[in-house]
């Protein structure tokens, strides 16, 4: 048994016989071309370009069919490379200047470009040279009139092992019987890795010399999760992975069955199960999960990677897509929780290099300082109200004054829209994130001005415990089971309940299987979970008895120590 | 029209080089619509041919980096105008679309 560690490129476990794809060593000889034949040589090259262009058209329709529009853009890149002067102009020039054959001129030109690419420091840009090789190989095979290797001949389920897989090879994998693939070269961001994820084929790349160490028909275990290739595994290893594979399959099946089921505990208490959304692009995934709503639409992404804040129209389009897709289910949109550093990038005056950005000008503090940003965003959100059920959530509220100021702007926008004939905006609820301890402590007052609350556990824990999770020296002190965290959560939920207001919990705690019984026992109304963990968390909720979980919380409130609370949870 | 012109302007890359190099691709496609020579440089030591995707990529121009574009030739003004529009579009509306080469066939050699 040999275990080789590589780079995990696409998750999943595959087991089967190895199929080794021989490295195509294309030998290119230098041939002197007589003066009178040079024109013919250049013409031959141009014909190869045309033929390659036709190849790309074919590849494009194939990718469109099997993988969709997003991946088809890869072909655009290849077309652009094929039309690059470094190929279209440089190769004919070399043929002319050096009186050589087209194949040799091309391989010289490719070598020259590759040399500059190898010097690129950024991995993402450097990895693009595989796209260049891909196009170069297609061209060469047309010049040499060689058939490009095809994976169609693989007709038994197997694990493909190769020195390198070019994106165009990878695209063909979907229709073949390949269980997974492993390559010596490649990185996490190569197109090959991205395509493998898109096709949901387990893959490990960057295995250095694995393709020489594996022999045809060797039995292989490919662990895409951990980036491991196991050659001729021991019976124990096979048993272990078979068990893992079976378990994953069974678990997936059990989870699948939960789609669309209401999240009701064994003793009949229903919890609303929503998801957190990081970008509008995830909506399709979310719809497939059959959620009860979007509990937290993080709008920050709209403010990233740009030099001016997004316009009302652009924001409106993004929110409308979510609201319309989910209608009549609710979509809770949080106004952007961005910091001062982002502001400077957006061309607005703001503090740079704050010593402690988590306690600095961010969230609602920043949006009240630049109320035009808040107003624009609120307008964009409220305009969607006539198409579904939308709610607004304010981040980083720490005082009554902040909430009042924000509400004034909110009401002004509602009236503005009413004057414009939008009556639905008037009914939109305004909620607050409870993530700063002060908001938790004066929640009874805040609830006079807020329609609902959402507990942001990440920040709340960080502020209650004074622990910066990014700081490696104290990160271990970050503890969702600290008695102080349990107590403040309890106080927040009880206060909201006494005022008859709904409580959502978002943040990572909702996606931590160990913490779910605690949240259920606290009696929150909605759990807003990261999509990846949605069904898993629902399964936990459905396996609990609310009464038992509530007793557990009562018990936890009397304990002094995190370990004791955690033990309580594992014993449940 | 007067003779060849040389124009130089500096821009900030506002869009992340996406998964499929679309921004770089649009720049190159737009540049190829013109006769003028188009050069892009980053810092003091890196210069690329604005009409070559391969050359453009070696600049490693990520979001926030400054690039200087030089157009030189009979349609230098129009070329700069088009590229300016492209940068402006990325700055305002982070969509991966090209306002200039929209609707055009992908650039083909010969």
Give the other-Cβ count within 10 Å of A214's Cβ: 22
Specify the range with the lowest mean pLDDT, choosing from A142-146, A276-280, A555-559.
A142-146
Residue A320 sits at the vertex; the CA angle it makes with A448 and A293, to the nearest 5 degrees, is: 60
Of the listed ranges A110-114, A200-204, A470-474, the one predicted with least confidence? A470-474
Q: Do B107 and A80 touch (CB under 8 A)?
A: yes
Nearest to B21 among A88, A119, A128 (CB): A128
Q: CA of A348 to nearest chain B CA: how many angstroms apart?
A: 14
Which domains, from first to last, does chain A contain? 25-143 (1.10.274.10), 266-546 (3.20.20.60)
Looking at residue A150, its pLDDT comes to 63
Cβ-based contacts of A119 with chain B (< 8 Å): 58
Give the pLDDT of residue B104. Answer: 41
pLDDT at A313 over 80: yes
Q: What percent of chain A has pLDDT over 90?
A: 61
What's the pLDDT at A284? 83
Dihedral (CA of A297, A301, A302, A303) sign = positive
Q: Which residue, among B27, B9, B5, B8, has the nearest Cα to B75 in the 3D structure?
A: B5
Domains and CATH numbers, chain B: 5-92 (3.30.1340.10)
What pLDDT score was predicted for residue A152? 63
Average pLDDT, stretch A80-104? 93
**CB within 8 Å: A310 and B94:** yes
Report pLDDT digits (tens) over B21-80. Answer: 677 788 888 898 888 999 999 888 889 999 998 888 888 877 778 899 999 998 888 889
- Supply the pLDDT for residue A187: 76
Rounded Cα–Cα distance for residues A75 and B20 (Å): 9
Q: Cβ atoms within 10 A of the Cβ of A62, count?
A: 17
Crossing angle (nearest 10°) for helices A371-382 and A312-326: 40
What pLDDT, on the 0 to 100 scale, is given for residue B99? 60
Cα–Cα distance, A349 to A369 (Å, whole number): 11
Any CB–CB contact under 8 A between A117 and chain B? yes
Q: What is the pLDDT of residue A314?
A: 93
Averaged over A330-357, what is the pLDDT? 84
Average pLDDT over residues A98-116: 92
- Say yes or no to pLDDT of B94 above 50: yes
Helix (H) or strand (E) holding A104: helix A102-118
Within an 8 Å CB–CB cutoff, is residue A63 touching chain B?
no
**Partner-chain contact A80 B25, CB within 8 Å:** yes
Strand partners of residue A334: A298, A393
Q: Looking at CA atoms only, how far is residue A302 from chain B in angstroms?
A: 8
Position B93 scores a pLDDT of 60
Checking if the pLDDT of A8 tops 80, the result is yes
**In this complex, which of B52, B93, B107 lies closest to A314 when CB atoms are compared?**
B93
Q: How far apart are CA A22 and CA A211, in angstroms?
A: 9
pLDDT confidence tier of residue A242, bands split at 50, 70 and 90: very high
Q: With beta carbons under 8 A apart, name residues in chain B contacting A53.
A: 108
Task: Write down the ipTM of this complex.
Answer: 0.73
Please tell me which of A53-62, A108-117, A378-387, A467-476 the model is most confident about, judged by mean pLDDT: A378-387
pLDDT higher than threshold 50 for residue B110: no
- Note the pLDDT of residue B108: 33
Q: Do B94 and A306 touch (CB under 8 A)?
A: yes
Calculate the average pLDDT of chain A: 90
| Cα dist from A142 to A26, A136, A152, whole Å | 12, 10, 19
Q: What is the pLDDT of residue B109?
A: 29
Q: In terms of pLDDT, which residue wins out, A502 or B108?
A: A502
Mean pLDDT of A181-210: 84
Report the pLDDT value the prediction gives residue B30, as an integer from 0 to 100.
86
Asked if the model's pLDDT at residue A12 lies above 80, the reply is: yes
- pLDDT score, position A290: 92
Whole-number pLDDT of residue A134: 87
pLDDT of A230 over the 80 cut: yes
Q: How far is B21 from chain A, CA to nearest CA, in Å?
A: 7
Least confident of A89-103, A120-134, A329-343, A519-533: A120-134
Q: Which two tokens stand for residue A97?
A: 């200047």
- Say if A118 is an interface residue toward chain B (CB within 8 Å): no
Residue A405: is its pLDDT beyond 80?
Answer: yes
pLDDT tens digit sequence for A120-138: 887 777 878 888 888 998 8
Alpha-carbon dihedral angle through residues A126, A127, A132, A138, given to the nearest 10 degrees:
160
CB-CB under 8 Å, A305 with B94: yes
Chain A contact set for B57 (CB, 8 A): 117, 120, 125, 128
Q: What is the pLDDT of residue A148?
A: 59
Question: Is the Cβ of A194 closer than 8 Å to some Cβ of chain B?
Answer: yes
Residue B92 touches chain A, beta carbons under 8 Å: yes
CA atoms within 13 A on the CB side of A557: 13
């Amino acid at each position: 048994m040999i275990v080789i560690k590589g780079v995990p490129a696409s998750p999943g476990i595959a087991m089967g016989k190895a199929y080794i794809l021989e490295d195509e060593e294309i030998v290119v000889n230098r041939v002197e071309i007589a003066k009178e034949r040079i024109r013919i040589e250049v013409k031959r090259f141009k014909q190869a370009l045309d033929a390659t262009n036709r190849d790309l058209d074919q590849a494009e329709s194939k990718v469109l069919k099997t993988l969709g529009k997003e991946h088809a853009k890869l072909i655009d890149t290849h077309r652009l490379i094929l039309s690059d002067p470094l190929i279209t102009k440089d190769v004919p020039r070399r043929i002319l200047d050096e009186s050589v054959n087209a194949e040799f001129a091309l391989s010289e030109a490719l070598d020259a470009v590759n040399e500059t690419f190898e010097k690129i420091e950024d991995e993402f840009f450097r990895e693009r040279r595989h796209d260049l090789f891909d196009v170069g190989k297609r061209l060469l095979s047309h010049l040499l009139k060689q058939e490009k290797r095809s994976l169609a001949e693989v007709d038994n389920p197997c694990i493909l092992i190769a020195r390198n897989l070019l994106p165009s090879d990878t695209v063909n994998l979907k229709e073949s019987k390949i269980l997974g693939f492993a390559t010596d070269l490649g990185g996490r961001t190569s197109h090959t890795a991205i395509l493998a994820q898109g096709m949901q084929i387990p893959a490990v790349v960057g295995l250095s010399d694995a393709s020489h160490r594996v022999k045809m028909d060797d039995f292989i275990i490919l662990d895409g999760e951990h980036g491991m290739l196991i050659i001729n595994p021991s019976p124990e290893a096979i048993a272990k992975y078979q068990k893992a594979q079976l378990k994953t399959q069974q678990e997936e099946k059990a989870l699948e069955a939960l789609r669309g089921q209401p999240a009701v505990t064994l003793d009949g208490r229903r919890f609303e199960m929503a998801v957190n959304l990081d970008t509008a692009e995830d909506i399709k995934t979310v719809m497939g999960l059959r959620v009860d709503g979007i509990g937290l639409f993080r709008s920050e992404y709209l403010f990233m990677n740009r030099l001016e804040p997004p316009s009302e129209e652009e924001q409106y389009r993004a929110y409308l897509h979510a609201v319309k897709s989910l209608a009549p289910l609710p979509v809770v949109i949080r106004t952007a929780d961005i910091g001062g550093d982002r502001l400077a990038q957006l061309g607005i005056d703001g503090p740079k290099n704050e010593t402690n950005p988590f306690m600095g000008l961010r969230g609602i503090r920043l949006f009240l300082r630049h109320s035009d940003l808040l107003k624009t965003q609120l307008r964009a959100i409220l305009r969607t109200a006539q198409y579904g059920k939308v709610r607004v959530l304010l981040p980083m509220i720490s005082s009554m004054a902040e909430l009042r100021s924000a509400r004034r702007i909110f009401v002004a926008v509602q009236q503005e829209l009413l004057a414009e004939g939008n009556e639905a905006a008037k009914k939109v609820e305004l909620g607050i994130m409870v993530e700063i301890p002060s908001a938790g402590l004066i929640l009874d007052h805040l609830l006079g001005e807020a329609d609902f609350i959402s507990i942001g556990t990440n920040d709340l824990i960080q502020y209650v415990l004074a622990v910066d999770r990014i700081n490696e020296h104290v990160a271990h002190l970050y503890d969702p089971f600290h008695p102080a965290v349990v107590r403040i959560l309890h106080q927040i939920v009880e206060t909201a309940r006494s005022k008859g207001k709904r409580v959502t919990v978002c943040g990572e705690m909702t996606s931590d299987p160990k913490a779910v019984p605690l949240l259920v026992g606290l009696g929150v109304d909605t759990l807003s979970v990261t999509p990846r963990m949605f069904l898993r968390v629902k399964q936990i909720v459905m396996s609990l008895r609310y009464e038992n979980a509530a007793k557990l919380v009562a018990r936890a409130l009397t304990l002094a120590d995190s370990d004791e609370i955690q033990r309580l949870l594992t014993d449940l | 029209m007067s003779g060849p012109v040389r124009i130089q302007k500096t821009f900030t890359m506002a869009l992340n080089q996406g998964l499929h190099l679309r921004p770089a691709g649009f720049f190159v496609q737009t540049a190829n619509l013109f006769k003028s020579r188009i050069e892009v440089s980053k810092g003091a030591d890196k210069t690329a041919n604005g009409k070559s995707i391969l050359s453009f990529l070696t600049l490693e121009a990520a979001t926030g980096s400054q690039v200087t574009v030089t157009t030189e030739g009979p349609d230098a003004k129009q070329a700069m105008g088009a590229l300016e529009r492209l940068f402006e579009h990325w700055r305002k509306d982070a969509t991966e679309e090209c306002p200039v080469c929209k609707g055009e066939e992908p650039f083909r050699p010969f």
